[in-house]
Chains A and B, each alone.
Chain A
Amino acid sequence: MEFTREIYWNVGHGFTTLAPMYGLLLVALVVLARGCLKRLKVYRLGKPLDRTDQRGERVKNLLDNVFLQTQVYRVPGPGTAHSLFFWSFFILAIGTALIVAQADFTDLFFGVKFLKGTFYKLFSITLDLAGLLAIAMLGGLLVRRYLLRPEGLITKPDDALMHGLLLAILITGFVIEGARMAVTEMGTPLAPWSPVGLMTAHLLGGLGEGALRTLHAGLWWFHLLLALAFIAVIPFTKFRHILTTSANSFLSDLGPTGKLTTINLEDETIEKFGASGLTDLRWKDIFDADACTVCKRCQDRCPAFATGKPLSPMRVVNQIGEIAFTQPEANLIDTVDRDAIWACTTCFACQDICPASIEHVGKIIEMRRNLVLMEGEFPGEEVMTAMEQTEVNGNPLGMGYASRGDWAESLGIKTLAEDSEVDVLYFVGCYASFDKRNIAVAKSFVKLCQAAGIKVGILGKEEKCCGEPMRKMGNEYLYQTLAMETVETIKGYGVKKIVTTCPHCFNTLAKDYRDFDFDIPVEHHAVFLEQLINTGKLRIKTDAFSCTYHDSCYLGRHNNLYEAPRNLIQSAGGKLTEMAQNRDQAFCCSAGGGRIMAEENIGDRINVKRVRMAVSTGAEQLVSNCPFCLTMFEDGVKGADVEAQLRPKDLAEILAERLVD
């Protein structure tokens, strides 16, 4: 026999079928187009932004995310289900397209048929299995949403519509196939190539040919209507993510990771700073709401959300969408709520995990900019005081600037003012300069450099805060003032290389300062020290110790530096027991986003939560390489009452203790 089938069997060939079919398709497409255009109008309420540069990379991201489902896969459970469902449905769509291509074009006009023979056999079995897999995966997702009910997952009528419509399309598809096969293919060698259809045909076995034909025709048109309905409702339901989420992969922020938009403060025509209303946001911020599928992966990883603060990154994104489509005049900040806005630590866990390329952090920072720059408002008086102290003394701690270099007395290093011929400028940072616990880290680092024969210089009282906490809190003006001064001071000394012991300083000098024509190479001490050990300039002995390692947000997610610190721990003899949440899944210490300056008054303490995670590894030392993390963990071990069990330590201290004499 011929391995093929009669397309339009029983439904009718020619005009009586094609006309209504294409007519309805046209209607569906018009509804789709109008729906999309309406939404496009709302996106345009936002400010312009060019996201069409670097097309090659953007297209690659699109293909990766859509066809390889890369970001979706990062959460294996539901990620696998969605990916398999997507691929199956995609295969079915291709299959349908091939049928249309033959039936309505190549065969109709040119008499060419390709759905035959071996190709058709493979075609048939592929589609059948795809359909079955789609139903299975969809069933699984349905069970997850409606029976297992994961915490925090929001379910709306929209979801029921989506599950229902898709299941109906898939199931009617098989019933149609079954009815057809029951009449035309039973007992033929072709039948096993549509196994699911065959099974359905057996189930329909009792019906006579007349009934089967009626069932088939009826369901065929019904199936068509469902499919066209699916197309038509795309813009009006979460189905829109097929278009929006895919588009977002193309439109995503190409980095550098975490870089905020820089306000041009020279532009005297700007009268408003930050975002308090919808039209202050960029169109992308409104579009992000449409790309969001409310998967809650961001919320699940948010340290603020996990400890009872009213911040959910997902909700912020959705609230913007709600306002955009229902109340565009609403005040953004009142809607999102100040406590939520201030709670963010810019740890980037949300944006890092998001499968929809949504930019959560920038939106929050824009609202903070509005509060600080337009209203002079801060999360608390202590933050305003820290800002003022930074203006007066160049550090948020309120310490006299003239004693910034005092920690280095009698260490045998000089300030650049005294001697600018150095191998490396050690940009110390505010905490390592003034805070007793962190001064120990600075001293350890200098000791290591000296042992490696590196000539280190510091700025001493000429060093000011790099401005990072101020920038993240929304005070763009103070940040830019500090940044420009720092750039001028450092450039003035002809510095060739900079090393910091603070990831925030590192990140800011390496990325943010590019806006000010600053391109002096900057390294974080973990990378710098690893290099020194690898090249043999620094020798440390292996002295065993048990530890766990905390990936600080600004080294990890912001800069992808996960291995260098681990290599150093290994060189030092550390037996490292990882916390469950490590590397890109690390849980923030709470001090980022400028929150090192603020008090934590709502919910549980984030740092205590992280310390408990460290304690549960059984390790004796909690190793980090950030002054904020170290400060938070020293406070956290007291708060969790585990001082006897767990010692917070910086990597530099561990290495310095192991110097080969």
Chain B
Amino acid sequence: MKTLLVAEFREGKLRVKYSQLIAFAKGLPTEASMFLVGSPNDLPQFDGTLYLADVGKYGEYNPSVHKQLLLDVIAKEQPDLIVFHHSSYGWDLAPRIAVALKAAQISEVVAIEDGVPVVPVCNAKLRRKITSKTAQTILTLQAGAFGMDEDPVGAPTVVPVDTEARGKVECHGYEAAKIEGVDLTKSEVIVSAGRGVGNPENIAIVQALAKALGGEYGGSRPVVDAGWVDHDRQVGTTGRTVTPKLYVACGISGAIQHLAGMKKSEFIVAINTDKDAPIGEVADVFVVADLKQFLPVLTEKLKAL
């Protein structure tokens, strides 16, 4: 079986999450090659064929051109699986390939069970196993679902690719996210606030617990969107992916985008009034309680230690 992995390049750099694609391929009996619209000066550590298109020529976001470059490679390589990240690049590009190849696309794969991809549905409350009926299948992988313990090693065999195709969409550059000094990816202990905190005043309770545990506080997407927590403290696929030793999720239901951002934490504690909240799937300890009542009690006891 042949697999073609689609890596990403953004703001002048190779996106290092390509290692997740490699980790995924390693889990299958497959021979993997890679496709990238990128730069020869920033290559992935990958022992295999890398079909490289010049990002200087074709742009970082240029969907129809990237599509054509990729289709040309697919025509040449004839992979059985084409694997993207389920990302702003991946979910933008993959369906175009699916239509062109009349192939099945299975989005946001979190696992392969008995050879069948598993995806989350309904805000991660349910799972779905989907089998492809087409010769070629396109997969997009959930961020963080697959990963390697060590950094990837290797040097790719670069095969340049070009195309005459022109795009109708113009990319004019980027606007940076507002970073304000907290880098949660470096924290060992994170206590996160979810919608369950109820109002901005209760963030203080979460902060207090974080302090008592010697860590940082973060938030899920809804509380960041509401302005209760700064964006640089957002945990989840559009925020930060964190891997602390201890992650305490307060009033967080466990929407998949959030789970993806923290489920590689070593030890996860969930505090929620809803016993069925999906966060329970990843939690090592699930405290069934109202965070507004439990957190102050816990914080007091920690301070007394």
A–B direct contact (CB < 8 Å): yes
Contact surface of A with B, Cβ cutoff 8 Å: 436, 599
B199 engages A436 (CB within 8 Å):
no
**What are 3 A-to-B residue pairs whose CB atoms are below 8 Å?**
A436-B273, A436-B290, A599-B199
Q: CB-CB < 8 A to A436: which residues of B?
A: 273, 290
Closest 3 A-B residue pairs measured CB to CB? A599-B199, A436-B273, A436-B290
Q: CB-CB < 8 A to B290: which residues of A?
A: 436
Quote the shortest CB–CB distance from A602 to chain B (angstroms): 14
Q: CB-CB < 8 A to A599: which residues of B?
A: 199
A599 to B198 Cα, complex, angstroms = 10
Quote the shortest CB–CB distance from A635 to chain B (angstroms): 9
| CB nearest neighbor in A for B292 | A638
Quote the shortest CB–CB distance from B275 to chain A (angstroms): 13
A436 to B196 Cα, complex, angstroms = 14
| CB nearest neighbor in B for A639 | B201
Chain B residues bordering chain A, tally (CB within 8 A): 3
Q: Which of B268-302 contact A (CB under 8 A)?
A: 273, 290
A599 to B199 Cα, complex, angstroms = 8
| CB nearest neighbor in B for A600 | B199
| CB nearest neighbor in A for B199 | A599
Main secondary structure of the interface of B (DSSP, over half): loop
Q: CB-CB < 8 A to B273: which residues of A?
A: 436
Q: CB-CB < 8 A to B199: which residues of A?
A: 599
A78 to B95 Cα, complex, angstroms = 79
A599 to B226 Cα, complex, angstroms = 13
A599 to B273 Cα, complex, angstroms = 22
Quote the shortest CB–CB distance from A508 to chain B (angstroms): 26
| CB nearest neighbor in A for B226 | A381
Q: Which of B177-204 contact A (CB under 8 A)?
A: 199
Quote the shortest CB–CB distance from B74 to chain A (angstroms): 43
A436 to B199 Cα, complex, angstroms = 18
| CB nearest neighbor in B for A599 | B199
Quote the shortest CB–CB distance from B278 to chain A (angstroms): 15
0/1 string, B152-169, CB within 8 A of A gives 1: 000000000000000000
A599 to B197 Cα, complex, angstroms = 13
0/1 string, B1-35, CB within 8 A of A gives 1: 00000000000000000000000000000000000
A436 to B273 Cα, complex, angstroms = 9
Quote the shortest CB–CB distance from B277 to chain A (angstroms): 13
A599 to B201 Cα, complex, angstroms = 11
A58 to B291 Cα, complex, angstroms = 55
| CB nearest neighbor in A for B296 | A638
| CB nearest neighbor in A for B273 | A436
Quote the shortest CB–CB distance from B159 to chain A (angstroms): 52
| CB nearest neighbor in A for B195 | A398
Quote the shortest CB–CB distance from A633 to chain B (angstroms): 15
A599 to B290 Cα, complex, angstroms = 19
A599 to B228 Cα, complex, angstroms = 14
Quote the shortest CB–CB distance from B97 to chain A (angstroms): 36
Q: Which of B126-175 contact A (CB under 8 A)?
A: none
A599 to B200 Cα, complex, angstroms = 10
A436 to B290 Cα, complex, angstroms = 10
A23 to B273 Cα, complex, angstroms = 83
Quote the shortest CB–CB distance from B32 to chain A (angstroms): 44
A436 to B275 Cα, complex, angstroms = 14
Quote the shortest CB–CB distance from A590 to chain B (angstroms): 14
A436 to B289 Cα, complex, angstroms = 11
A599 to B227 Cα, complex, angstroms = 15
| CB nearest neighbor in B for A638 | B292
A335 to B147 Cα, complex, angstroms = 61
Quote the shortest CB–CB distance from B274 to chain A (angstroms): 10
A436 to B272 Cα, complex, angstroms = 13
A436 to B294 Cα, complex, angstroms = 15
A289 to B273 Cα, complex, angstroms = 51
Quote the shortest CB–CB distance from A475 to chain B (angstroms): 22
0/1 string, B60-94, CB within 8 A of A gives 1: 00000000000000000000000000000000000
Quote the shortest CB–CB distance from B245 to chain A (angstroms): 31
Quote the shortest CB–CB distance from A626 to chain B (angstroms): 20
Quote the shortest CB–CB distance from A436 to chain B (angstroms): 7
A30 to B110 Cα, complex, angstroms = 89
A79 to B199 Cα, complex, angstroms = 44
Q: Which of B95-138 contact A (CB under 8 A)?
A: none
A436 to B274 Cα, complex, angstroms = 11
A380 to B273 Cα, complex, angstroms = 26
A405 to B199 Cα, complex, angstroms = 27
